[in-house]
Amino acid sequence: MSLNPAPDATPGLRRRFIVISAVAAGIFGILLLRLWHLQIVNDERYRFLSERNRTRFIHIDAPRGTMYDRNGVMLVDSRPAFTVSVLRQEVADRQALFSRLSQLLGIESRQFEARWRAGQILPDYQPLPLLEDIDRATMEIVQEHGIDLPGVIVEGKPLRAYPQGPVAPHLLGYLGEVTEDDLRRPEFADYRPRNLVGKTGLERLFEEKLRGQDGYRLIEVNVRGRELRQLTTQKPSPGQRLILTLDSKVQAAAEKAFGEEAGAAVALDVRSGEVLALVSRPAFDPGQFARGITAAEWQALAEDPRHPMQNKVLRGQYPPGSTFKVAVALAALEAGTATPETTVSCSGGITLGSHEFRCWNKGGHGAVDLHRALKESCDVYFYRIGMQLGIDRIAAMCHRLGLGQPLGFPFGGERGGLIPDREWKKKRFGTAWYNGETVICSIGQGYVLATPLQLASMTAAVANGGTVWRPQVVKRIESLQGDLLWTPEPQKLFESQWSPANLRAVRRGMEAVVNEPGGTAFRNRLPEVPYAGKTGTAQVVGRRGDKAADTSKYEHRDHALFVAYAPAIAPEIAIAVVVEHGGHGGSAAAPVAKAMLEAYFGINREAPPVVTIEETAVNAVPAAGIEGGADGSAATAPDTEPPPLPENLPIPAVPPATEDEPVDPAIAPPLRPAEG
Amino acid sequence: MFDRRLITHFDWIFMLLVVLVAVTGIVNLYSATANFSGAATPIYLKQIFWFGLGVLIVIGVCLFDYRHLEYMGLPAYGVAMLLLVAVLAVGRTSMGATRWLSIGGVGLQPSEVMKIVIIIVLARYFSERSTPVGFSIVQLLAPGALLLMPVLLVMKQPDLGTAMLLLAIGGTMALFAGIRRATVVALGGCGILAAVGGWFLLHDYQRQRIYTFLNPEQDPLKSGYHIIQSKIAVGSGGLFGQGFRKGTQAQLSFLPERHTDFAFSVFAEEWGFTGCLLVLVLYLLIVLWGLYIARLASDRFGMFLALGVSAMLFWHIVVNLGMVIGLLPVVGVPLPLFSYGGTSMITTMTGVGLLLNVSMRRFMF
């Protein structure tokens, strides 16, 4: 039926079929070679890629270790917080994703875009956080619309919480994201970008113990990154617990007592050097850092002239003022240049060469012995015994009391203060020491500087009979199960053997300051617990001639200081308080210490005591307080004993603006502004 | 017309090869679509149905003598061309291309019809002429025009893969028929020029596919994704594969188009080099057997018809596998008997039927 010729008619047909079959087989050979290359030669690589495709390594941040005060009150907690993150590999169209998120959550998509860009330094596979610490409603919205939001996940991540509020932030410290520089250092080898790390305080000091061990989950995901099943898992192990020496009641009382004032307060256990309270005001809120501080917030903190970020207990160096008289008194007694019975006649000042050194009490104290000199803070007495003693012997006693050098506080860049002597003067200025300088140093002015911690430590040494302990802030470290992992050994820095009679004389004087009528802190006595103390007022601005500094200016006002230990017999606690530009030690600083002692001894003063007619009558006398008329708080002071009239104090002699312990400005060496 | 001898001459071995591959393909589809959700009929069941239909087509095609096709070629060509024009005018658009024509609710791809029709038309042309020195360029004008007209229409859809396949099928047949050396050189030159010129006529997505093929990693999430994921799937198969239904690339949906164009990736991942080798051998046997049928054909038309069908199967296999293993750009060419799809199955089984038809009538003239 066909007109077609038979295939055999075509010449070379057989050859053509062989060629075409060979070409076909050859091309199949190429395909096979390629398969060999992919499946046999490179199969490891593709197996790895396949594994990486289907598995996700999810870090689980370990809850950071918590912190408690000495009584088990939780100060720093680790609470679960949730973060909306995005797996960048899963996102095809991020504009669309962000506008959808923005629509759902009512947050501008620009913000997400900014986070996205900022997160580009993270490795690709790591979730990039878009919104941190979201509330439950947000979490529900995101989870509900999971299918609409490819690549978006909600991650749990522990965050810092402060159940007692921002207590002792300078001691506890705050957290911040680990920096890129840190990450390059070997000790941060197992940190990842955006991990939180302790930046200051205990958070930083005990970073290793608080951090815990992050866990992980290896999960299998499908192409949309949705988790299908868990392959392996390693639970995170939470960080260890820190039990601090802090007594949160004392701490809170001090913080409250400061009100809006700036300054520092510290309380030590005189028997061990344990820090019971550490207050630096104004303070910052570590929660702000936990949430992620903004640039504006940070700038406000950094530029605040009252330095809220600084730990003034450690780094504030203040002229100790009359609190220094404790050291001078002890030095004179121990050196034998004075006895408790030594009497000095105070006529309101002394003259040395052409300089006049005044007592704060222009009218003079008359004949003063050690007891009264401490109680009423007579400057002339200390000018005299200081001169007899000489600066080097004062300095030697100071060093035994822990002044003039750092006390080994474990962190925070503790300052050493300054205790001058002849050698120091020569080294520093190349000039000889003048007697006038001894005079001015004897009342804690001039070159002398001390940190609040040093003043508390000095007071503790007087209270415990001569031991300067190294300050401790951590009582013990426990595992989550409560096993004791670490506890510090109390460490003695100095131990002095003073004559019990001399020590008793100084302590009696300090007791009189608080408990005897006419004492400079008499108004702040505690009837329940007799305690001892010493007020101080440190001049901030040098005065020329008789012209007083402009006390209306905050920064010209004097610093108010107060040191105390309690109880007077068998002391337990020593306190130092500095109220910057607070005015009088007795009126501004002592109430803080009193509040701390009330908290320490559990004295509840919620209800104002019943005021007797007798008291009302006495309190009505405006200048009844030894602190002078500037103290307007007399009527409200919750005294339970009738304050006696000052014994040796002619009331008209106290002008309103006069400090209790002024320094003659004429000879005052240039005052260095206190650190802080 | 029907002779009982035809049954004894039926090429059972070739049919067995086809069934083996088709069954492997269906088993593979069962795994590839295991995680498809929805109440619809499972893909592998549908594929079984299509294969069953394909077997009926084979039987149907074998029932009449292929030599009748000689005269039906040109009218069929005319109809197919009309359909190709119609598809451009009123066709169904999906994924940026208009390839489908809906006739009475049944989808039809005219370009698939054209694959078979062009083989018939060219077989007739080349079988009627024979030159000892090969065809000249003038002699190739007519078959060239017959080939290029549908190629251009298909490119217009645009369906680059099918257009290239039509060219490859026609080219293979022409080369086999014999072309003068000078003509080969001239046509080669024209081809290169056309390729360069065509570059500018390509759609963006087509150009992107070529870029992506050259460097898939440059855009791993979008256009490079197919190639990368396919290579990972194939490569991770190793020597013996991950095991049936255990290929994570496929089962966890990392592999796109895994029941259609990339079905073989699933197979390679789960059965490894060993499985691939077996399937490749089966495919090669089918192609070589097709060429063998061509060689034993009782007439030149039958020979060219069998050759054309073999070329069609060959190029489908090579282009698809080349794409799956990253040797060729991603063009939507299905793997015969492996990729899911009724159209592909019908075309393939029609071709198989033609081969069997030629084979069983090799002793008749």
Give the Cα separation of A509 and A503 in Å (integer): 10
Residue of B nearest to A13 (CA): B295
List pLDDT tens digits, range A229-245: 787 888 888 899 999 99
Is-contact A278 A263, C-beta < 8 A? no
Confidence band for A466, pLDDT divided at 50, 70 and 90: very high
| Interface contact B299, partner A, CB < 8 A | yes
Mean pLDDT of chain A, nearest integer: 83
Closest CA to A238 of A207, A217, A212, A203: A212
Classify residue A403 as left (phi > 0), alpha (psi -120 to 50) or beta.
Answer: beta
pLDDT value for A661: 42
Give the Cα separation of A184 and B283 in Å (integer): 57
CA distance B86 to chain A (A): 35
Is-contact B160 B342, C-beta < 8 A? no
Least confident of B10-24, B89-103, B113-127: B89-103
Structure tokens at B55: 């077997």
Tell me the mean pLDDT in the region A430-445: 92
Residue of B nearest to A34 (CA): B325
pLDDT value for A666: 39
* Residue A613 or A458, more confident: A458
Q: Which of B254, B298, B301 sits opposite A54 (nearest CB)?
A: B254
Give the Cα separation of A373 and A368 in Å (integer): 6
pLDDT value for B131: 77
Q: Which residues contact A132 (CB under 8 A, 6 or more apart)?
A: A81, A83, A157, A291, A292
pLDDT value at A313 more than 90: yes
Q: Which residues contact A261 (CB under 8 A, 6 or more apart)?
A: A281, A579, A580, A582, A588
Tell me the mean pLDDT in the region B146-156: 91
* Residue A330 or A113, more confident: A330
Chain A residues whose CB is inside 8 A of the B320 CB are none
Confidence band for B2, pLDDT divided at 50, 70 and 90: low
> Is B302 inside a domain boundary?
yes
Tell me chain B's radius of gyration from C-alpha atoms. Answer: 21
Tell me the mean pLDDT in the region B178-199: 86
Instruction: Give me the phi and psi of A486, to 5 degrees please.
Output: -160, 140
pLDDT value for A320: 95
> Cβ atoms within 10 A of the Cβ of B162, count?
23
- To the nearest 10°, the Cα dihedral for B191, B192, B195, B197? -110
A3's enclosing H/E stretch is none
DSSP at B91: P
Share above pLDDT 90 across residues of chain A, in percent, rounded to a whole number: 49
Least confident of A63-67, A399-403, A622-626, B205-209: A622-626
Q: What is the 3-state secondary structure (H, E, C) of A639-664?
A: CCCCCCCCCCCCHHHCCCCCCCCCCC
> Is B92 inside a domain boundary?
no
* Residue A156 or A422, more confident: A422
Split into its structural domains, chain B has a count of 1
Share above pLDDT 70 across residues of chain B, in percent, rounded to a whole number: 92
pLDDT value at B76 more than 90: yes
pLDDT value for A287: 82
List Cα–Cα distances, A526 to A458, A644, B358, in angstroms: 22, 15, 120
Q: Which of A13, A43, A92 sits opposite B238 (nearest CB)?
A: A43
Which of B 51-70 lie inside 8 A of A, CB atoms? Answer: 67, 70
> Cβ atoms within 10 A of the Cβ of B196, count?
9
| Interface contact B297, partner A, CB < 8 A | yes
pLDDT value for B358: 93
Q: Which of B268, B302, B365 sits opposite A39 (nearest CB)?
A: B268
Q: Which of B178, B273, B291 sits opposite A39 (nearest CB)?
A: B273
Tell me the mean pLDDT in the region A134-156: 82
Structure tokens at A665: 């400005």
A85's enclosing H/E stretch is strand A74-86
Structure tokens at A499: 């004559």
> Is B103 inside a domain boundary?
no
**Which structural domain, as residue segments, surrounds residue B143?**
5-80+111-360
Instruction: Give me the phi and psi of B169, to 5 degrees please.
Output: -65, -50
Contact B254 A53 (CB under 8 A): yes
List pLDDT tens digits, range B108-127: 888 999 999 999 999 999 99
List pLDDT tens digits, range A488-508: 888 999 999 999 999 999 999
pLDDT value at B352 more than 70: yes
List pLDDT tens digits, range A352-398: 888 888 888 888 889 999 999 999 999 999 999 999 999 999 999 99
In three-state secondary structure terms, A458 is helix
Mean pLDDT of chain B, nearest integer: 88
Q: What is the 3-state secondary structure (H, E, C) of A340-405?
A: CCCCEEECCEEEECCEEEECCCCCCCEEECHHHHHHHCCHHHHHHHHHHHCHHHHHHHHHHCCCCC
* Residue A547 or B219, more confident: B219
pLDDT value for B303: 94
B147's enclosing H/E stretch is helix B141-156
Most confident range, picked from A582-596, B176-190, B342-356: B342-356
pLDDT value at A100 more than 70: yes
DSSP at A586: I
Is-contact B146 B117, C-beta < 8 A? no
List Cα–Cα distances, A238 to A64, A209, A214, in angstroms: 6, 9, 8
pLDDT value for B25: 96
DSSP at A433: P
Confidence band for A641, pLDDT divided at 50, 70 and 90: very low
Least confident of A37-46, A406-415, A617-626: A617-626
Confidence band for A54, pLDDT divided at 50, 70 and 90: confident
Report strand pairing: A241-244 vs A67-68: parallel
Is-contact B270 B12, C-beta < 8 A? no
Which of A 35-64 lie inside 8 A of B, CB atoms? Answer: 35-36, 38-40, 42-43, 45-47, 49-50, 53-54
Confidence band for A543, pLDDT divided at 50, 70 and 90: very low
Q: Which of B172, B294, B325 sits opposite A35 (nearest CB)?
A: B325
| Interface contact B268, partner A, CB < 8 A | yes
Share above pLDDT 70 across residues of chain A, in percent, rounded to a whole number: 84
Query: Which residue ranges does chain A devote to CATH 3.90.1310.10?
Result: 56-244
Q: In what order do the strands lie in the sheet with A215-221?
A: A55-60, A215-221, A227-234
Give the Cα separation of B109 and B161 in Å (integer): 14
Q: What class is the A249-281+309-611+655-667 domain?
A: alpha beta
| Interface contact A124, partner B, CB < 8 A | no
Least confident of A258-267, A528-537, A649-658: A649-658
Would you list the DSSP string of A505-516?
HHHHHHHHHHHS
Tell me the mean pLDDT in the region B8-14: 90
pLDDT value for B105: 65
| Interface contact A125, partner B, CB < 8 A | no
* Residue A534 or B187, more confident: A534
| Interface contact B1, partner A, CB < 8 A | no
Closest CA to B263 of B83, B12, B48, B44: B44
pLDDT value for B203: 77
Closest CA to A244 of A143, A149, A170: A170
List Cα–Cα distances, B207 to B157, B166, B199, B216, in angstroms: 15, 20, 7, 13
Query: Which residue ranges does chain A devote to CATH 3.40.710.10?
Result: 249-281+309-611+655-667
> Which residue of B71, B252, B304, B335 to mutate against A (max A Cβ within 10 Å)?
B252
DSSP at A355: E
> Is B278 inside a domain boundary?
yes
pLDDT value for A153: 83
Report strand pairing: A275-281 vs A263-269: antiparallel
List Cα–Cα distances, A477 to A68, A274, B163, in angstroms: 10, 15, 77
pLDDT value at A147 more than 90: no
In three-state secondary structure terms, B310 is helix
pLDDT value at A127 more than 90: no
| Interface contact B252, partner A, CB < 8 A | yes
> Which residue of A1, A2, A4 to mutate against B (max B Cβ within 10 Å)?
A4
> Is B87 inside a domain boundary?
no
Say which CATH architecture domain A56-244 belongs to: Alpha-Beta Complex (3.90)
Most confident range, picked from A75-89, A132-146, B235-249: B235-249
Tell me the mean pLDDT in the region A66-82: 91
Confidence band for A221, pLDDT divided at 50, 70 and 90: confident
